[in-house]
Structure 1
Amino acid sequence: MAKIDIRREHGKSAAEARAVVEKVAARMAEKFGTKGGWEGDAYAFSGSGVKGAIAVSDSDVHVTAELGMLLSAFKGKIEDEIRGKLNEYFA
């Protein structure tokens, strides 16, 4: 299993950052069929071939994920996509 671990600082309040994560989670559910929910300050999600969390603090967002065997081949592309979205939503 390939692992993804990305942090991105943000200038939003924790509540604003959580709202952004909820939008991202809704898009992931629509596009990839993931399911999840809040566990404390982290949105835990899972789907076919992926399991992870998006943790929110007052200063940063921390994305962690474990990719199944099929998705592991696309780890670099997936990391690039995550970084791009984090930059887009938390710039």
Structure 2
Amino acid sequence: MPSIDIRRTHSLGLEQAHAAVDKVAQRMREKFGVDTGWDDDTLRFSHMGVDGGIAVSAHDVHVQARLGMLVSALKPRIENEIHAKLDEYFGPAKTP
């Protein structure tokens, strides 16, 4: 099963990171009908063909998702959208 695994550092702190992920979750629910819910510091999400989580800490955000066969063809598009939302809510990725 194809998967997505993206980690991004940030400087928002835990409370603001939670708030940012809440905004992302709201958009996922409205736009795609995704089921979401918090499990400690991880927002779990699921929808037909996709399930995973967005884990937040005071210093980073970690997106993991498993893609079903029908959705796997969309993996590059989904990854691009995740990077765009991380840029929007957590700032651009830092390059070493």
Task: Note whether the superposition's TM-score is higher than 0.5.
Answer: yes
| Residue deviations 1:27-73 (CA, integer Å, cap 9, x gap) | 00111111121101100010111100000011000000001111100
- Which residue is equivalent to 2:76? 76
Aligned length: 91
1:29-68 aligned within 5 A: 29-68=29-68
* Alpha-carbon distance in 1 for matches of 2:58, 2:26: 22
Unaligned runs of at least 5 residues, structure 2: 92-96
- Give TM-score, length-normalised by structure 1: 0.96
Q: What fraction of aligned residue pairs are identical, expressed as a percent?
A: 57
1-structure distance, mates of 2:46, 2:71 = 13
1: distance between equivalents of 2:58 and 2:31? Answer: 28
Unmatched 5+ residue regions in structure 1? none
Question: Structure 1 residue runs of 4+, over 2 Å off?
Answer: none
RMSD (CA atoms): 0.7
TM-score by length of 2: 0.91
